A and B are shown apart, each in its own frame.
Chain A
Amino acid sequence: MSTFGLRIGRLLSISILAAGSAYAVPPAAATAPSEEDAAMIQRVERDLGMVFIMPPAVKLDPGLRTEADAIAGAHLARMHTLVPAWIEEERRLQAGADGKAPSGAVHYAVFARMLNELALWQLAPGDAAYEKATLDAIRATPAVCANAGHDRHHDFLTRIVRVQTIPPEARAAALATERRLLEAWGKPHPAPPPWPNPLPQEAGMEAVVQMRSGGARPPLALSPVLASLLLAERERYDSMPWPTRCEFQRWWLGVSLAQGRPAAEALTAFRYGTLITAAERFGDAFEREAGTAPARNKAAASAAPPDYPKMAARFDVTGVTRVSRRFDAAGKPVQASVTERRIQVRGIRGVRPVAFEDTFDALAVRYALGGPGVAPSASGPAQAFEMVWDLGPAAGGATQGGKP
């Protein structure tokens, strides 16, 4: 494969999340950081602060808003202690022979760690009562998918809006769980559940394809917005805005439960389906910043080996993506999905980097659908292969591994 030369060499100035923090955080009690680290702390905390803003336009019960602000404030105060420690740890681990670590790499490693904490938090279950209340809330109202346009930092907002739909008598317990889940940041995490295979959006869209062709129908009808986009306009799942995709995930959750899937499994699938991963959070912002945003249709199948995503290069995301694909009788690939992800990210240790595990999914699927077919067969053969994503000096963007 061709070589791929981009390495993290300096701290770039992309400010994906940040525009300012809503919270004043107390000064760190530890020894004063260097000027450079202080700026880094400020940047990370500013980015994190955006996630914990409750926009005034969002209708919340005043009491709940007060509680939410208090939870957010307490969490950001904890993070104010934690972030300097993370930076110090990264500086130590990345130090070269001269005892220094490049600030760009340190910053992105700490940023990655923060993004992964966000992702782990989104996937973490609460106690049984919390899980039931959450499931009921998601099923009860599309309001849980409203995010007031804060597409890239609505993690906390979405949770609080969900709490608002929980019956008042159960809210205190739900908020206590929210506090507890936030207190888990920076501590050893239990392994997150595995990615659903297929992903809920893949399974749901498979059902939509059946509906389009007049085939078997799931037991629940689509809402007008989904019927309009998916049946009448035949849009792709990934072309829809986040709230509509969330609405799709709600629909598929209902279908899954109606089909007898266990509640915990369906809820995990929903959480993965609505997870704001790094790929979701940044979109093609890094490509745009570099002036290399692809002009072609992002979803179009392509036989060309994909370029290394700039976001992945910046965060030092590497690993292996295993792809499975099916062919039609003519040997043309017609369906592909990622079935396994073995991903590493600088700065994330001791836990799966779930925030980054889907970084290569879209590229891998696009390549699998656009890549070479197989000999015609009436049986419609299946095939799996691995794509190795490596940032080594002589490595290619992706290398297609052996076929099993």
Chain B
Amino acid sequence: MKIVPSILLSGVLACVAATSACAADKPLPPITKAAQAAYWSGDFAELERQNAYYSQPGRIEPDATSQLDLFRSGLNTVFSNDVGNVEAYLQEVDRLTLQWATEHPKSAFAHALHARALYAHGWSYRGGTYAKDVPPEAWKDFHAYLRRAAEYLHAHADVALKDSFSHHVLIQVGRGLAWKPEQLIAIADDGLKRNPEDTELIFAVVFSLLPKWHGDARILDSYINHAVQQTRARFGTSMYARLYSAAARDQYGYDLFEDSLADWPRMKASFEDLLARFPDSPHRLNRYAYMACVAKDRQTLAALLERIGDAIDTSDWGTNPQRGLEGCRRLAAGK
């Protein structure tokens, strides 16, 4: 989607549907909007300030969403701005972020942002289509930009890797370059040492370990178990539900419990833990209900639907939410 210039006037914003913080017609969360505004107008000092603020411990929304994720979603909207001449735009964004990194050589965030710009540039060649639809020449540019991003972070690793944003970018780059799962997991583990609450690293690895990328059900399950242990002190067992829920969203859908090693009783307990830690979240309740539907747990689904009442959030009900919800309601009613 296109970002309109009036952002500087009144905050009339577009958003990129691919980001977790921005469903198709939902307004952007304030944190996302602020990040977008600062980046859009080229306010590096403000971006640096926001990044430092949201990287602090405890910056978590009442529904368990990481504020750092919301901040980075704002950056993503600027990278993904839909413009007439995307090459001219992204070249300039590359230059701007490199300029910032050069002006602020000690800023880990500046280096990470430049690498993220190169990654975005690469993806503009690949596009969001199936791999079979990507022209061969585009693959070359895609890989070349991703390699540049990796090389840039490698060259500035001593500074850049102080911020787990660099690890996040590196995992994304590694996914595109088909790095081995062990490599990606090692990067995430290192990033979590820098910032134990940067759960986006874990989600990025989970995404990379889906069969449609370079993983399989066994590797995925192994990593999710590893991640639950890693985050137990802060999040209990709740990451199990969130990570398998993400796996369902990004690949498995209604086949989650057939095609992956997800275990519904464990997932259900994990959702309960999540709701105990982050109560009264309509988003989490909706997602829990949807997953109960996927698991065909009629009793749990019915109880959750009753609990949700009118607070249905269709963005949590799969890719065809209206029909999906209809089917789930029928299941709950035993029809």
**Judging by beta carbons under 8 Å apart, are A222 and B6 in contact?**
no
Stretch at the interface among A76-84, A223-231, A301-309, A378-386: A223-231
Contacts of A247 in B (CB 8 A): 8, 41-42
In the complex, chain B residues whose CB is within 8 Å of the CB of A148: 9
In chain A, positions 207-253 with a C-beta closer than 8 Å to chain B are 212, 220-229, 231-234, 240-241, 243-244, 247
- Of residues 91 through 149 on chain B, the ones whose CB sits less than 8 Å from some CB of chain A are 92-93, 95-96, 98-99
Name the contact of B96 in the complex, choosing from A142, A222, A229 (C-beta under 8 A).
A222
For residue A141, CB closer than 8 A to chain B, the reply is yes
B7 and A221 contact, CB distance less than 8 A? no
Of A143, A231, A232, the residue contacting B43 (CB under 8 A) is A143
Q: Does A56 contact B (CB under 8 A)?
A: no
Question: Which of A147, A224, A229 sits near B42, CB closer than 8 Å?
Answer: A224
A233 and B96: CB pair below 8 A? no
Q: Residues of B contacting A212 with CB < 8 Å?
A: 88
Q: In residues 130-146 of chain A, which contact B (Cβ within 8 Å)?
A: 140-143, 145-146
Counting residue pairs across A and B whose Cβ atoms lie within 8 Å, the total is 88
Nearest CB on A from B313, distance (A): 29
Q: How far is the CA of A202 from the CA of B12 in the complex (A)?
A: 29
CB distance from B56 to the nearest CB of A (A): 21
Q: Which of B9, B43, B45 is most buried by chain A, counting CB atoms within 10 A of its CB?
A: B9
Contact of A232 among B10, B40, B86, B98 (CB under 8 A): B86
Q: Determine the chain A residues whose CB is within 8 A of the CB of B86 once the complex forms.
A: 232
> B3 an interface residue at 8 Å Cβ cutoff?
yes
Structural contact, B8 and A227, CB atoms closer than 8 A: no
Are A241 and B5 interface neighbours, CB within 8 A?
yes
Q: Which of B6, B9, B10, B40 contacts A224 (CB 8 A)?
A: B40
Q: Does A149 reach chain B (CB closer than 8 Å)?
A: yes
Give the residue name and chain of the B residue nearest to A233 (CB).
B84
Q: How far is the CB of B310 from chain A (nearest CB, A)?
A: 32
Q: Number of B residues whose C-beta is below 8 Å from A? A: 28
Residue of A223, A232, A233, A240 near B41 (CB, 8 A) is: A223
Mark A103-147 against chain B: 1 for CB-CB distance below 8 A, else 0: 000000000000000000000000000000000000011110111
The complex places the Cα of A247 from the Cα of B93 at a distance, in Å, of: 16
Contact with B along A249-262 (1 / 0, CB 8 A): 00000000000000
Asked whether any CB of chain A lies closer than 8 Å to the CB of B78, the reply is yes
CB contacts (< 8 Å) of A233 on chain B: these are: 83-85
B53 CB within 8 Å of chain A: no
| Chain A residue with Cβ nearest B43 | A142
Q: B244 to chain A: which residues have CB within 8 Å?
A: none
B194 CB, min distance to chain A CBs, angstroms: 27
Shortest Cβ gap from B292 to chain A (Å): 42
Q: Does B46 contact A (CB under 8 A)?
A: yes
Q: Is B81 an interface residue (CB 8 A)?
A: yes
With A223-B40, A232-B88: A140-B95 Cβ-Cβ less than 8 Å: no
Closest-by-CB residue of B relative to A147 is B9
In the complex, what residues of B have CB within 8 A of residue A229's CB? Answer: 5
Residues of B within 8 A of A226 (CB): 42
B179 contacts the other chain (CB 8 A): no
Q: Please state if B96 and A223 are interface contacts (CB–CB under 8 Å).
A: yes
Task: Give the residues in chain A near B99, CB-CB below 8 Å.
Answer: 220-221
Using A212-B88, A234-B84 as known contacts, say yes or no to A225 and B45 having CB atoms under 8 A apart: no
Residue of B nearest to A150 (CB): B9
Q: Does B88 contact A221, Cβ atoms closer than 8 Å?
A: no
Question: Known contacts A220-B99, A224-B96, A241-B6; is A231 also within 8 Å of B85 by CB?
Answer: yes
Distance between B291 CB and nearest chain A CB, rounded to angstroms: 38
Would A221 and B95 be within 8 Å (CB), given that A227-B89, A228-B83 are in contact? yes
Given A220-B99, A222-B96, A228-B41 contact (CB < 8 Å) = no
Contacts of B85 in A (CB 8 A): 231-234
Contact between B42 and A142 (Cβ–Cβ < 8 Å)?
Answer: yes
Is B288 on the interface with A (CB-CB < 8 A)?
no
Assembly CA distance A233 to B7 (angstroms):
17
Of B6, B46, B92, B98, which is within 8 A of A227 by CB?
A: B92
Which A residues touch B92, using CB under 8 A?
A: 221-222, 224, 227, 231
13 A-B pairs besides A141-B45, A227-B93 with CB distance below 8 A are A142-B41, A147-B9, A223-B42, A224-B41, A225-B8, A225-B41, A227-B89, A228-B81, A232-B83, A232-B85, A232-B89, A241-B9, A243-B9
Interface residues of chain A, those whose CB is within 8 Å of chain B, are 140-143, 145-149, 212, 220-229, 231-234, 240-241, 243-244, 247
Instruction: State the 3 A-B residue pairs at the shortest beta-carbon distance, nearest first.
Output: A223-B42, A227-B92, A232-B83
